[in-house]
Amino acid sequence: MRIAAAALVAALGVAGVVRGHDGGDGRYATAVGEEVLPGVVVAAQRGGRYSADLYLTAALVPLRPLGDRVREAVVRGVGAAGLEQALGPVGVTFLSVEKQVGHP
Amino acid sequence: MAEQDKQGSQGATITSPGGGGQPLLATERGTTSIDNAVVTKVAGIAAREVRGVYELGGGASRALGNVTHRVGIGDERMQGVSVEVGEKEAAVDLTIVVEYGESIPQVAEQIRDNIVKRVEGITGLTVTEVNVTVNDLHFPGDDRQPPPEDPARVA
């Protein structure tokens, strides 16, 4: 699923995002061929669009603004893959946080 | 494939994800949610940052936490912490072990201040209360390993 891959790559590129979180039991993951993308679920919506939901582990940073930055990055990343018209709402859920070495 | 068919608009709808996530911010392009586990973990980390806190959790919770952590299914930063999270506010209860010699009222006050600062700064939630229960005192000698048993005198 190209939207899932583009969305996850874009989200992971945002500073403060540590990794995708599959929910602990793989419920928040998308299989693309043999590859599994943890932390992204794409769902069909009305009108031929797809919502993209990201489930993430973040650093100890303010999460609301980080969520906005992730959403913007996903829209940009999916757009760069030529799929912007197919992208519906982008949900961002922080499931965990991690103290990063070197951060206060 | 975890792709799901979710007919119906979720555009700006506030939704709560499975597993206790809390809706926080809805925009035209989607929502941002923060799971309760995040609030719990932030509160636990904040409490541990305070000098005089030896450990979090009661006796049973610490014992269970040690086991679950050892087998890789638990997170010791969450033991001894429980949170109640609403739309905009959170309340935190925690159980701690304090180092002997530290002032318990001062430690408790510093924990409150740090949890409020960290949780509010990271999640944007307003912390309405932080209830601290001191479950035990830790004495420096408590960590000492028991001496090895005398070797058997007979084979």
Predicted-complex ipTM score: 0.91
Q: Which residues in chain A touch residue B10, judged by CB atoms under 8 angstroms apart?
A: 45, 51, 88-89, 91
What is the average pLDDT score of chain B? 79
Nearest in space to A78 (alpha carbons), one of A88, A67, A68: A88
Which residue among A30, A75, A97 sits closest to B42, beta carbon to beta carbon? Answer: A97
- Give the C-alpha distances (Å, rounded to integers) separating A74 from A6, A22, B14, B102, B114: 7, 18, 19, 49, 33
- Summarize pLDDT for A28-67 with one digit per residue, the tens: 999 988 899 999 999 999 889 999 999 999 999 999 999 9
Query: Are the CB atoms for B10 and A45 separated by under 8 Å?
Result: yes
Comparing B71 with B49, which gets the higher pLDDT? B49
Nearest in space to B119 (alpha carbons), one of B107, B104, B130: B130
Residue B14 above 80 pLDDT?
Answer: no
* pLDDT-based confidence at residue B58 (cuts at 50, 70, 90): confident
Quote the pTM value.
Answer: 0.80
- Summarize pLDDT for A80-95 with one digit per residue, the tens: 999 989 999 999 999 9
Distance CA A103, CA B154 (A): 57
Q: Which residues in chain A touch residue B42, judged by CB atoms under 8 angstroms apart?
A: 60, 97
